[in-house]
Amino acid sequence: MRIIVLMNQAAGTASKEEISAATVEAAFRAAGVDATVEQVEGKAMAARARAVLDDGFDAIVAGGGDGTVSCVAGVVAGTQTPLGVLPLGTLNHFAKDLGIPADLEGAVRAIAAANVRALDLGEVNGETFINTSSLGFYPPVVQERDRQRKHLGRGKWLAALSALVKVLPRVHALRLTIKVDGQTLHRTTRLVFAGNNEYRMSLFTQGERKGLDSGLLYLYLVKRPSRLLLLRLALRALFSDAGTTDDFESFSVPSFTIENRRKSHRKVLVFLDGEVKSLAPPLLYRARARDLLVLAPEPPRPTGSPASA
């Protein structure tokens, strides 16, 4: 097996020099895998992945957090080259949902097993996401959180809470037209959340999905444009699944469209797997069913299934 590992040199674990290119290469060598390891700047990750896509590697491995993995996934999706995941970020939602071990040796073993799964990913206006996308108050909260981490040196959790308190009072409600499930909805809301498959509605804690191959996006809309409601939901999401409340309107669909009724010509801030991008409406969301090949363990079968007998 011959692979290339693209490590984000600014990823949480790698940036602290706990894991180097040499240690990653040695771990793969011990597992019987011929690995070429490169450290890449985050902004150059997509270009580097595209450059090596046709070089005959059996897999392209993304070393970093969810943003790095999502970036490489967007390049390899729709091809016959599978994605490998080394969870070197802070949260690593995608790796956890796939059952990929958090330690280097365990993650390497999962890749070396060469078990290929065909999974879904989401797409909006040509931009892909492996976990979640959202509109409303959350993208500016992420921008402010990252600003505080960079300029004030705050930790992720403190910066997130501080950003929430600072941004929430001034964020405007979105007046949207949403075409979903054969309906045209007119909604005023401060949060739209789209999950690649059914997703635990948790803003700052570990998300959980039972599967990644349903071919559906899960759309959640906060019913009322109340700042106090958003604060309550955000605080609840620190500890539990906020999606279990009656404050959300939800749909599970293969696609939907969002238009901004207030200023339709203006771009909208959209959160995608840890990154914030400015996209021009209408926002065309769709699930790309089983379009991403990933090296990952098979999910455990339910107790009592024929295979477990």
Domain residue spans in the chain?
2-114, 128-288
Integer Rg of the chain from CA: 20
DSSP per position, 58-76 = SEEEEEESHHHHHHHHHHH
Q: In what order do the strands lie in the sheet with 275-279?
A: 248-253, 217-222, 191-196, 132-136, 268-272, 275-279
* Superfamily of 2-114 according to CATH: Probable inorganic polyphosphate/atp-NAD kinase; domain 1 (3.40.50.10330)
| Per-residue pLDDT tens digits for 124-172 | 999 999 999 999 888 888 777 878 877 887 777 787 777 777 877 777 8
CA dihedral 225, 231, 233, 238 (to 10 degrees): 150
Q: Is the pTM of this model over 0.95?
A: no
Q: Among candidates 8, 195, 219, 234, which has minimal Cα distance to 93?
A: 195
CB under 8 Å to 205, separation ≥6 — which residues? 237, 238, 239
| Per-residue pLDDT tens digits for 42-71 | 899 999 999 999 999 999 999 999 999 999
Q: Among candidates 273, 291, 299, which has minimal Cα distance to 69?
A: 273
CATH class of 128-288: mainly beta
